[in-house]
Structure 1
Amino acid sequence: MIKLFAFDIDGTLLDSNSKLPESTLEALSKLDAAGIKIVLASGRVFPSIQYNQKLMNIVGPIVSTNGSLISLDGDEIYKGYYIENELLSLLQKFCIKHKLEFHFYDDKNYYSNRLNFDRIKHLKLDTDYGINYQVDIIINKDPVSFLTSLNKKAVKFQISGLDLKGISRDEIINLLNDEFGEELYITGSGDTIVEIGNKNANKWSSVEEICGILGISNNEVAAIGDAYNDMPMVKAAGIGFAMGNAKDKLKSVADIIVNDNDSSGVLEAVNYVLEENKKCLM
């Protein structure tokens, strides 16, 4: 019996144009009516997930920035797993040395040493007045020093635009592993992005932490995603789904592959779970 369903957002709940399809809304409504807990588990920063949660007309737990922040109610942060400032400074130096584009987040804000509108287009609000992003954008020549001056800590560090540098994702990950060893969790949502966080948190570990509080066992969890950072939760969940548009590595660990994010894949997964739950009641 599935009691909790964890969803990735980009490439899963949202279509290829980063829009929310009616089929997703229908799927989430069905789960809510069945009393199944819905958890949004994304690489996005916390306020961005809150924004999308409201668009989806749901309430409940949030796992943000690949598991480094947990909210039990979608409002207050329950627990955070942070990147130590010393490691953050070394990551910034690593990127400057290799001339790599980077940005990072605290629990609410986006930081970088340059403004690239393409990197923040997924955070855009549909407004033409005032602040038109889901988070505050902070650009500083030394963003790590600025963050520490505010007595804040980062929850995710991201290296982007690897395709423009002619460097493969695997090359960068190998370099990072050589320099940082086991000190950080290194993953990504795509082939041109590397995402880095606290070694003790990923999407699954934080979903599992929520389940422990709610009294839900691992085999009572379903999870769905499309990217590398979804692998821990898709692999460990009682039922793990991969979207049709998912990375091959994720498909290889999933129990079931559904249609892509433009073809009602989420609704297909939800219908499967509801049918399986009916069988448990027979």
Structure 2
Amino acid sequence: MIELSACRVAVFDLDGTLIDANNKVLDGILEGIEHLHSKKLKLYLASGRNVHSMRTIIPQLDFLQHFEPVIICNDGNVLYNQQTHEVKIINSINDSILKAILAELDGKADFVIENNSRFYASSKGAATKLFFIYIN
């Protein structure tokens, strides 16, 4: 087992780790976060959520004040600074490849692709589903 004193950084997932499906902080999390912060660990948040979703939930989670301002989003593909609102995209799909994917799938499937913080939907139905399920 690793001694806490040997650690300098802790990285946490958000959904199902720190909060439940209703965005409520899970039992014991606040105490644990405060304890780690008091031990001078740098705390980071990593999530599969996109930047828009993170911007929406940050104001609801007071304990994030103990975390470093940079949040790892989109399963590690985007860094979002919650203080400066700077977004750094690590990888994106080349525009010509994106156009080829969109052309190949046109009419064959309902889908949404997020690339460079923009969403591309194959139909209004796909865009509506994204909005109600993921964004809203």
Q: TM-score range by the shorter chain?
A: 0.5 to 0.7
Q: Is the 8 A contact 1:45 1:105 kept in 2?
A: no
1:62 matched to 2:66? no
Between the aligned partners of 1:52 and 1:116, the Cα distance in structure 2 is 20
Counterpart secondary structure, 1:79: strand
Please point out which of 121, 133, 136 is paired with 2:133: 121
Kindly tell me: are residues 22 and 66 of structure 1, through their superposed partners in 2, closer, same or farther at Cα, counting changes over 3 Å?
closer
Amino acid at match of 1:123: I
Alignment of 1:52-131 (within 5 A): 52-57=57-62, 58-59=64-65, 60=68, 61-71=70-80, 74-77=83-86, 79-81=88-90, 82-96=92-106, 98-107=108-117, 110-112=119-121, 113-114=123-124, 115-117=127-129, 120-124=132-136
Ranges in structure 1 where 5+ consecutive residues have no aligned partner: 125-282
Q: Is the 8 A contact 2:71 2:80 kept in 1?
A: yes
Aligned to 1:20: 24
Identity rate, percent: 19
Return the offset for 1:100.
3.9
Ranges in structure 2 where 5+ consecutive residues have no aligned partner: 1-5
Counterpart secondary structure, 2:79: strand
Kindly tell me: are residues 36 and 63 of structure 1, through their superposed partners in 2, closer, same or farther at Cα, counting changes over 3 Å?
same
Q: Is the 8 A contact 1:43 1:64 kept in 2?
A: yes
TM-score (normalised: structure 1):
0.36
Alignment length (residue pairs): 122
Counterpart secondary structure, 1:10: coil
| Runs ≥4 residues deviating over 6 A | none
Amino acid at match of 1:79: K
Q: Which string of whole-angstrom CA distances, capped at 9 and with x for unpartnered residues, describes residues 115-155 of structure 1?
A: 3346643432xxxxxxxxxxxxxxxxxxxxxxxxxxxxxxx
Amino acid at match of 1:95: L
Amino acid at match of 2:74: T
Tell me which of the two structures has the higher relative contact order, counting C-alpha pairs closer than 8 angstroms and 6 or more residues apart. 1
TM-score (normalised: structure 2):
0.66
Amino acid at match of 1:99: A
Between the aligned partners of 1:119 and 1:38, the Cα distance in structure 2 is 30
